[in-house]
Amino acid sequence: MNFKEVLLVVNPISGDSNKKYIINTTQEKVKEQGANFHLFTTTGTNDIEKIRQRIAENNIERVLVAGGDGTINLVAEAIKDMDISMGIIPAGSANGLAVNLQLPENVEDQVNIALGDKSIKMDLVCLNDIICLHISDLGINAELIKNYDESSIRGKMGYLIQSIPTLIKSNYPFHFNIRTPEGTKETEGILLGIANAQKYGTGANVNPGGKVTDGKFEILIFKKFSFSEILKTLRNETDFDPEVIEIFSTDEAVITCKKPVAFQIDGEYIGESTEVKVNILPQKLQILVPENFIE
């Protein structure tokens, strides 16, 4: 152990769940390790600045995050230029990044990993200057997130309830122009994903070749709905029909759309966009993983 001051950042509303058990367990384990425990509860406004302030005031050396992908993203933004490692205690609606980092279900095990020594240096994908740790997309999934944000029911059920109205109201197919150092591509689709990791929080393995430390991201084009291809992602199969799902790796891209398209980063709805500039910050964030983590 090479830290004395630990900050736990907790999102009180994420995943529609009470965080008391997580807070108590973390506090106990930090004390057992002979370190000091500090707590920051997010408010939904200016959290990045407030976290940076707490880190400076208390000489924080390790940050733990209890929240969903949105909360992990904002803590990553706060610490990305500091020499501080981040541990994750998944407590959101879908926990996409936690699935990719192979974190266990049990809170005690999660806290042990977050306070442990095994870490990787993760790439951060940067989209119009906003970082992404997990998966971002333009199209129907971002429309779903927008509709969810506007509804009053939170958690997994909230997403489920919004899925049918989203399909009915959607403006798909969308038209995308994708420029990368490898060439230019014009395509239509229901969703264009920009993936650092492999899986959505549902476990759907949409990007089987994705690695969070390889200095690259993948562009995923879902050209049309196909239940057989969706089932393949759920079964971890990798032989997608290129007529339905096309995937390629790159390290830079400019995506333009003829009409504004809904856009989300790590589960947070950003707005409608006609241009997304993508680049990568290789091995930028030190993040704790299980001892038996396999890339």
Ligand X SMILES: Nc1ncnc2c1ncn2[C@@H]1O[C@H](COP(=O)(O)OP(=O)(O)OP(=O)(O)O)[C@@H](O)[C@H]1O
Tell me which DSSP letter residue 43 carries. -
- Distance between CA 90 and CA 103 in Å, rounded? 8
Binder of ligand X out of 5, 13, 112, 234 (CB under 6 A): 13
Binder of ligand X out of 6, 9, 14, 204 (CB under 6 A): 14
Binder of ligand X out of 24, 43, 151, 236 (CB under 6 A): 43
Asked if residue 67 binds ligand X (CB under 6 A), the reply is yes
Asked if residue 152 binds ligand X (CB under 6 A), the reply is no
Single-letter amino acid code for the residue at 20:
K
Buried b (16+ CB within 10 A) or exposed e, 193-227: bbbbbbbbbeebbbbbebbbebebbbbbbbbeeee
Asked if residue 12 binds ligand X (CB under 6 A), the reply is yes
Binder of ligand X out of 9, 15, 196, 270 (CB under 6 A): 15
SS3 256: strand
Asked if residue 48 binds ligand X (CB under 6 A), the reply is no
* Residue 199 vs 211, nearer CB to ligand X: 199
Alpha helices in 151-251 (DSSP H): 155-169, 227-234
Contacts of 10 (CB under 8 A, 6+ apart): 19, 22, 23, 39, 40, 41, 42, 66, 67, 91
> Are the C-beta atoms of 219 and 253 separated by less than 8 Å?
yes
Asked if residue 290 binds ligand X (CB under 6 A), the reply is no
CB of 207 to ligand X, least distance (A): 20
Nearest residue to ligand X by CB is 68
Asked if residue 90 binds ligand X (CB under 6 A), the reply is no
Asked if residue 96 binds ligand X (CB under 6 A), the reply is no
Residues in touch with ligand X (CB under 6 A): 11-15, 42-44, 67-71, 92-94, 154, 267-268
